[in-house]
Structure 1
Amino acid sequence: MSKDAAANAMRIRYTDQHGQTAVRRILPIDAPYLGSAPEHPETQWLLRAIDVEAPVGAGERVFAMARMAVLPPSA
């Protein structure tokens, strides 16, 4: 991933299925969609994105939009 792409990542506050909340930087891959995924079995709005700070090869994931809050860009 280029430094420019990582620099333009959006910041979100996300609470995972275990109740752990963290600030993440993501790059959306697709538009949000209504559906389910193995880690989100209930039908809901999901966003497939790259987690910029995840280990190499583990960054693409599905985020439940109900568990995220978009944060302002960092200065």
Structure 2
Amino acid sequence: MHRDSHEATRSEPNEEECRTEQLVPRFSHCLKRNSRCVYAVVSGSFYYCMHPNHLGFKHTSVITDFPYE
């Protein structure tokens, strides 16, 4: 079986750094845009996460600096 060089350099994600936004129950949008992740599916400029725990990486917004104070 032939593997291209990009596929050979893919690795497991650092789950501490993963952030996603759910699109449908089976996959999420990868907010880190990590094309080297073994669970990443890249389509044009979109990055999708197919990790079994993709819902556990849900992005939460934290406002630390409000520009209109």
TM-score (norm: length of structure 2)? 0.27
Q: Which one has a bigger Cα radius of gyration?
A: 2
Tell me the TM-score normalised to structure 1 length.
Answer: 0.26
Higher strand share: 1
